[in-house]
Structure 1
Amino acid sequence: MLDIAWNPTLNTLTRNAWRLSFGGGIAPVQRTPSTRIHEAPHQDLYRFDGSDTDDDRPILLVPPLAAPAQCFDLRPGQSLAAHLAGSGKATYLVDYGTMGYADRGLGFEDWVDDFIPAAVDRVSRLHDGAPVDLIGWSLGGTMSLLTAAGRGDLPIGSVTAIGTPIDYESVTMIAPLRAVGRFTGDRPLTTATGAMGGLPAPLVQASYRFTALQRELTKPWFIARNLHDTETLARMESIDRFMADMPGYPARFFRQVCTQLILGNALTEGNFETRNGAIALADLTVPVLAIGGTEDVIAPIPSVRAATDVLTGSLSVRFESAPGSHLGLVAGPKAKDSTWAHIDGFLDGVVAQTA
């Protein structure tokens, strides 16, 4: 008779199976300790504890909409925030919170003219006016680039855009939407969302799962194959929690995504229209790092690399590729030795340039 007490592998299999099925999960949620230093609708500002806030040039993490701000801090080992703070960098995060019907009129201009500039100014003042390095993921990178281009008066030192598409014609998964849109415009995408006040969270979550359809379909086999590997299951669990927490898009913001980015491919022309006027990407002057993922279907490498063509006013535009999917770029098992290493090298070089 097999003695389970003396079979650690079988013990692990049994424990993991129980936790996945009935025990509340493989690992508890663990976030990097942080302190909220400012509270306001859609612009809460956090400082990660343990970072050197006296001597180091500050960093502001800029998440996209329709994704939890925890994209930068999923769990230990999957936290760009912990990596930056642990290396002695003063690291901050702006958190937009949830979106409801009352937010339906919010658009890109509210972020690039108000929310993000206010966070940049607040962080800079905490550091005696030092320039702030922005790091944005996905549409957070888009908003960071537009903020730097449209608000040249801000103390922005550089922009890092992770998995941020510029050329939407290179995003093959939305090619059918673009084809239909040539005849129908944005109406099939935005009529219903306008009535609902935006794209509800369940639809955002379903859309993101669709982009990783193979992962969803093979998930039972993945679990069975890795039931002995607690760390791998914990990473899977953190991604599932991330997707389950996705909030929705405000109606105006979603319409701008559809009309200007998906259908209009406006960023390749170097301009983005807002209610406050046009923003020209050529007006961005700070150094930029763009990182594309080799397995990213939401922002394929050609769509990200296009940043090197349109940011003509930048002091320097550097493109790097890294292994991983859209989320894997910033929080995957290989991110530390690829994406995070690229960011470290880029920021060190920016500081050296301005020293």
Structure 2
Amino acid sequence: MTLTDTVAAAVRNAWSLTFGDGIEAPEPAPSTVVWDEPHRVLRRYDHDGPATGPATLLVPPLAAPATCYDLRPDQSLARFLCDTGRSPYLVDYGDITYADRRMGFEDFVDDIVPEAIRRVSADRGGAAVDLVGWSLGGVISLLTAAADPTLPIRSIIAVGPPLDYDHIYFMNELRLATKLTGGLGTSTFIRAAGGVPSTLTRVAYRVMSWDREVRRPWFVASNLADTATLARMETVDRFQNQLPGYPGRFYNQLFRRFMIANDIGRGVIELGDRKIALADISVPVLLVGGHNDVISPAAAVEGGLRTLTGSVDLRYVRVPGSHLGILAGPGARDTTWQHVDTFLSDVSHLS
């Protein structure tokens, strides 16, 4: 690239980031809606030809848009699964509002995700389904399988799932503060707001990624002529700006049973008057932890090796990247996605 080309690209990118429409417009992978009800839109990603490979259901977390699996063409696990001959589906919970404040883990573990699994299986002629869940989507996938062993689940891949809150940053301080206050401040706020508002979720995500925010002006200035790099940055910014909130009941369960009591770290989760044991999961499981993940550190993911003792094939890998980076970062194709491909291929040979 000549100096003239470099200057022209820098000027064009500077305009696009400030006064223009952005560096790159979103380009979602083609998909077809096969089920459409509130908080449970099911999409089947389209192939150029007939879809013949195993079905894979992508399960998003709460407080993150379902676009996490399809950020942009070269950062899309959904496209990768299509390219490797598989048949990916996505269940999308949509927006979470004050009206959804009574939704809890049970709504996802007993209703939304199981029904999506059954519909995907039916759409594929009754075949068992592979689940892929990122962050709390991985936790929900595991709890769904543990709660109902009759579901047509072939395997589970959990990317960055927090499976032991003793290894989550600042948990000791949070537990001490909760012990001193009885958790009144948190519970009162959540009840009044009906959950965690999307604005607070977005602020919290940025705080956890404070180093990225601090470096952002210098990053933009030093890459002003690099359109591809700025497009990836813009994609992450767009993702952060779309983060939804948590329903009130769901967050209270997350706070008390997971963060404070660490049920998940002990492998038995109390939901209402029943208990769900991770050891009841018998299907193959792959856990993926991130070296640089500050939201769900690798040690928190690795905790699943102590609790998922019933799995016929339990694997854990650690890859470079942040919480979002291990799923959809520029390097995910050569790390996480390759582990996903290998694991699913091995599962196919066992089936």
Quote the Cα distance in structure 1 between the aligned partners of 2:190 and 2:51. Answer: 45
Paired position in structure 2 for 1:288: 285
Quote the Cα distance in structure 1 between the aligned partners of 2:343 and 2:48. Answer: 19
Give the gaps of 5 or more residues in structure 1. Answer: none
Q: Secondary structure at the match of 2:34?
A: strand
Q: Find out whether 1:230 has 2:241 as its counterpart.
A: no
Amino acid at match of 2:290: G
Amino acid at match of 1:172: Y
Give the TM-score, by structure 1 length. 0.96
Q: Find out whether 1:320 has 2:288 as its counterpart.
A: no
Paired position in structure 2 for 1:155: 152
C-alpha displacement of 1:296 = 0.3
Q: Secondary structure at the match of 1:238?
A: helix
| Percent of matched pairs sharing the same residue | 48
Q: Secondary structure at the match of 1:329?
A: helix
- Give CA deviations for 1:97-153 in whole Å, capped at 9, x if unaligned: 001111111000000000000000000011121110000000000000000111101
C-alpha displacement of 1:166 = 0.7
Q: Find out whether 1:165 has 2:151 as its counterpart.
A: no
C-alpha displacement of 1:45 = 0.1
- Give CA deviations for 1:204-249 in whole Å, capped at 9, x if unaligned: 0000000000111111011001111111100100000001001110
Task: From 244, 252, 275, give the equivalent of 1:247.
Answer: 244
Task: From 259, 264, 270, give the equivalent of 1:262.
Answer: 259
Query: Do the aligned partners of 2:133 and 2:158 also contact (CA within 8 Å) in 1?
Result: yes
Paired position in structure 1 for 2:117: 120
Quote the Cα distance in structure 1 between the aligned partners of 2:49 and 2:130. Answer: 15
Query: Do the aligned partners of 1:285 and 1:315 also contact (CA within 8 Å) in 2?
Result: yes
Query: Do the aligned partners of 1:53 and 1:89 also contact (CA within 8 Å) in 2?
Result: no
Paired position in structure 2 for 1:48: 45
Amino acid at match of 2:32: T
Q: Find out whether 1:8 has 2:5 as its counterpart.
A: yes
Quote the Cα distance in structure 2 between the aligned partners of 1:231 and 1:246. Answer: 23
Amino acid at match of 1:23: G
Query: Do the aligned partners of 1:51 and 1:85 also contact (CA within 8 Å) in 2?
Result: no
Task: From 76, 85, 89, give the equivalent of 1:88.
Answer: 85
C-alpha displacement of 1:17 = 0.6
C-alpha displacement of 1:191 = 1.5
Amino acid at match of 2:152: P
Structure 2 counterparts to residues 1-355 of structure 1, below 5 A: 7-50=4-47, 54-275=51-272, 277-354=274-351
C-alpha displacement of 1:178 = 2.3
Go from structure 1 to structure 2 and tell me whether the alpha carbon gap of 1:179 and 1:331 turns closer, same or farther (over 3 Å shift). Answer: same
Give the gaps of 5 or more residues in structure 2. Answer: none
The size of the alignment, in residue pairs, is: 351
Amino acid at match of 1:210: V
Q: Secondary structure at the match of 2:315?
A: strand
- Give CA deviations for 1:29-83 in whole Å, capped at 9, x if unaligned: 1111111111011110000111766532100000001100000001111111111
Q: Secondary structure at the match of 2:276?
A: strand
Quote the Cα distance in structure 2 between the aligned partners of 1:167 and 1:222. Answer: 34
Quote the Cα distance in structure 2 between the aligned partners of 1:283 and 1:183. Answer: 36
Quote the Cα distance in structure 2 between the aligned partners of 1:233 and 1:181. Answer: 41
Query: Do the aligned partners of 2:166 and 2:265 also contact (CA within 8 Å) in 1?
Result: no
Amino acid at match of 1:144: S
Amino acid at match of 1:171: I
Q: Secondary structure at the match of 2:80?
A: helix
